[in-house]
């Protein structure tokens, strides 16, 4: 059993990373979504086998450190802005980076897997959508969705941006022999590509990031 954190404690873990987001609306959305993240997320390593992430992302709290590193890369890259994102798009991308692995071992503490769920990008993206009452039957086709008409566009747009960037964050590694029935979305838009790039950099063993807290 993992320590139970309050919503405020969960948000506080990423206080620095949330400060990278300039838009108050996007920051509030990300804070609300963070408050619902399973408790296990704050305890587990970034890699359940230890094979695919650097040493600083392993052990207790490793997934949080990986997430912080990915957000740091997002903040650094927002200055040269190689994909020419608008400031609003950058904010949504940073939000997606913070939330991208929040269902890595399953939807909640009661169904946590001992290993990384290959479909974790879909689980995390759907958690974002479900929070705001958005139904997307095909996660490979973000053009088809329905939503509660009470959701205003200033909420709907960033939620969709965040969700589809989370869903495709695995990039080209979108199939697995261990889960042959799952095909993850691949990045097709600049926001999606940006999020995948940040996650990829944070997974590289050649890069040792310090002072993440």
- What would the mean pLDDT of 127-156 be, rounded to a whole number? 88
Quick check: helix, strand or coil at residue 195? helix
Segment 8-44, tens digit of pLDDT: 999 999 999 999 999 999 999 999 999 999 999 999 9
Do the Cβ atoms of 2 and 40 come closer than 8 Å? yes
How high is the pLDDT of residue 47? 84
Do the Cβ atoms of 5 and 42 come closer than 8 Å? yes
Segment 82-132, tens digit of pLDDT: 999 999 999 999 999 999 999 999 999 998 998 899 999 999 999 999 999
CA distance 49 to 100: 19
Structure tokens belonging to residue 97: 């980076």
Segment 170-207, tens digit of pLDDT: 999 999 999 999 999 999 999 999 999 999 999 999 99
User: What backbone torsions phi and psi does residue 134 show, to the nearest 5 degrees?
Assistant: -105, 130
CA distance 208 to 213: 14
Tell me the pairing of strands 146-147 and 134-135.
Answer: antiparallel
CA distance 31 to 39: 15
Extract the runs of DSSP E, i.e. beta strands, from the chain: 134-135, 146-147
């Amino acid at each position: 059993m993992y320590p139970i954190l309050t919503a405020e404690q969960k948000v506080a873990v990423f206080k620095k990373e949330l400060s990278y987001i300039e838009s108050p609306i996007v920051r509030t959305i990300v804070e609300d979504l963070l408050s619902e993240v399973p408790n296990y997320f704050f305890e587990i390593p970034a890699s359940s086998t230890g094979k695919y992430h650097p040493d600083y992302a392993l052990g207790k709290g490793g997934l949080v450190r990986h997430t912080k590193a990915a957000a740091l890369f997002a903040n650094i890259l927002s200055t040269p802005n190689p994909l020419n994102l608008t400031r609003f798009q950058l904010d949504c991308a940073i939000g997606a980076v913070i939330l991208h692995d929040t269902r890595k071992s399953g939807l909640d503490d009661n169904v946590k897997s001992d290993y990384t769920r290959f479909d974790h990008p879909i689980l995390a993206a759907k958690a974002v959508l479900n929070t705001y009452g958005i139904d997307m039957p095909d996660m490979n086709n973000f053009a088809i969705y329905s939503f509660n008409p009470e959701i205003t566009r200033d909420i709907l747009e960033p939620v969709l941006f965040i969700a589809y960037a989370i869903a495709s964050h695995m990039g080209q590694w979108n199939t697995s022999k261990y889960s042959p029935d799952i095909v993850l979305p691949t990045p097709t838009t600049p926001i999606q590509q940006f999020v995948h790039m940040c996650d990829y950099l944070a997974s590289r063993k050649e890069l040792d990031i310090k002072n993440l807290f």
